[in-house]
Structure 1
Amino acid sequence: MRPFPDVDDPAGLVARIATGKDRSALAALFGLYGPRVKSMMLKLGASDALAEDLVQETFLTVWRKAALYSNQRGAASTWIFTIARNLRIDQLRRQSNKPYEDLEKVTLASDAPLGSVMIEQQQVIERVTKALALLPQEQQQVVQLSFIQDMPHAQIAETVGIPLGTVKSRLRLAYERLRPMLDDLQ
């Protein structure tokens, strides 16, 4: 027999904590999830002592915020582990010893691509466009719908008014024709 009869219903335990600040429900949750939360903290790089402190802080938060839990938004275990993870993140932020920089003095590299990259991209686009122009019209159409408009094969079949198998065979034939022309681009 288990020491806590309600461990099969963690959401019920959280509800009991929320309604009446039931210490036995908290003890049951702690017995069920405490070792798991500690293990998670150790895996996240916390020392043994820090892991134990974070476990206690996790269940103190569960005690204080039990009324905020909703089983419609997820399992009680997910809620508890999220609290624990957030406490670990907060702890890591507090211990960070990086000095803060004045944002006005920080210079960032431009996100714009280099000129040579843009030229290479343009050349690739031109080659692909020329290769596509060599395909029969029905193959061009399914390739454009599939890759440019990102349509699923079933929607292409419906749009063009052809069977799904025909869409797939036209794409396969197009690949076979394009592969030798564009093989060096991979």
Structure 2
Amino acid sequence: MAIGDDVSRGVTAKASEPTDLTQDLMAIAASQDQGAYRRLFHEITPRLKSFLMGQGTVEPVAEEILQETMLKVWQKARQFDGSKASASTWIYTIARNAKIDRFRKEARPMPDPNDPSYIQDPPETGEQSVAKKQESNHIREAIATLPSDQLRIITMSFYEEKSHAEISEELELPLGTVKSRIRLAFGKIRNELKDMA
């Protein structure tokens, strides 16, 4: 008697009979056949557990990965393509990926609440606020002293956020000239700021 006949009559196949994993997987995909899923589950899970534990996974974790794998088999059975892989290869791939995902999550360190990136900066004092404003004014004044050709390139680069290549193309200048003018502008701004200090 074929396994398909057993399923249609609601009879469970004897444990000694070989289970056709592909047939059961296709029955799950076609109609979410619970009998086929039960047979597939009993046939493949002992081997999967042995596979996981053979790779150094402790039993409780292997059990969790196994449950996650079999849930995915139920949910994703329609994605199985027998022309690309056998049913057991497809299921083992799901198990392997579930194991990898599990260990990646465990390997990811928990955020450290004392990490400086999580600690807020103290509120700005009045003195810091005034100093920032003065610095900002000094920079604006220094930029205003630039020759118009340098000022245009600095404006395009830092305020309009254009790349050197875009500036070169837009102003019809060689790329080297654009970079040179930016360097000259920075040198001039630096000197102006020193004089203001």
Matches within 5 A, 1:31-50: 31-32=54-55, 34=57
Aligned match of 2:68: 65
Q: Does residue 22 in structure 1 map to residue 62 in structure 2? A: no
Following superposition, the deviation at residue 154 of structure 1 comes to: 2.0
1:36-59 deviation line (CA, Å, top 9, x unaligned): xxxxxxxxxxxxxxxxxxx55443
Following superposition, the deviation at residue 136 of structure 1 comes to: 1.1
2:51 partner letter: A
Q: Does residue 145 in structure 1 map to residue 156 in structure 2? A: yes
Q: TM-score, normalised by structure 1?
A: 0.50
Q: Secondary structure of 2:55's match? A: helix
Question: Which of residues 135, 154, 168 is equivalent to 1:157?
Answer: 168
CA contact (8 A) 1:58 1:83 kept: no
Aligned match of 2:106: 84
Following superposition, the deviation at residue 143 of structure 1 comes to: 1.6
CA 176–83 in structure 1, closer or farther in 2 if over 3 Å, else same:
closer
CA 64–171 in structure 1, closer or farther in 2 if over 3 Å, else same:
same
Q: Secondary structure of 1:22's match? A: helix
What CA distance in whole angstroms lies between the structure 1 residues aligned with 2:100 and 2:172? Answer: 47
What CA distance in whole angstroms lies between the structure 1 residues aligned with 2:192 and 2:60? Answer: 62
Following superposition, the deviation at residue 174 of structure 1 comes to: 1.1
What CA distance in whole angstroms lies between the structure 2 residues aligned with 1:22 and 1:184? Answer: 78
What CA distance in whole angstroms lies between the structure 2 residues aligned with 1:58 and 1:181? Answer: 65
Q: Secondary structure of 2:124's match? A: coil
What CA distance in whole angstroms lies between the structure 1 residues aligned with 2:72 and 2:194? Answer: 57
Following superposition, the deviation at residue 114 of structure 1 comes to: 2.4
Question: Which of residues 107, 126, 133 is equivalent to 2:144?
Answer: 133
What CA distance in whole angstroms lies between the structure 2 residues aligned with 1:138 and 1:59? Answer: 68
What CA distance in whole angstroms lies between the structure 2 residues aligned with 1:68 and 1:162? Answer: 59
CA contact (8 A) 1:153 1:167 kept: yes
Aligned residue pairs total 123
What CA distance in whole angstroms lies between the structure 1 residues aligned with 2:49 and 2:188? Answer: 67
1:16-67 deviation line (CA, Å, top 9, x unaligned): xxx7543333433443364xxxxxxxxxxxxxxxxxxxx5544333212225
Aligned match of 1:176: 187
Structure number, greater radius of gyration: 2
CA 30–135 in structure 1, closer or farther in 2 if over 3 Å, else same:
farther
Following superposition, the deviation at residue 111 of structure 1 comes to: 6.8
Following superposition, the deviation at residue 85 of structure 1 comes to: 4.1
CA 63–119 in structure 1, closer or farther in 2 if over 3 Å, else same:
same
1:49-92 deviation line (CA, Å, top 9, x unaligned): xxxxxx5544333212225499xxxx936413234347x85xxx
Q: Which runs of 5+ in 2 are unaligned?
A: 1-39, 77-95, 111-119
2:104 partner letter: T
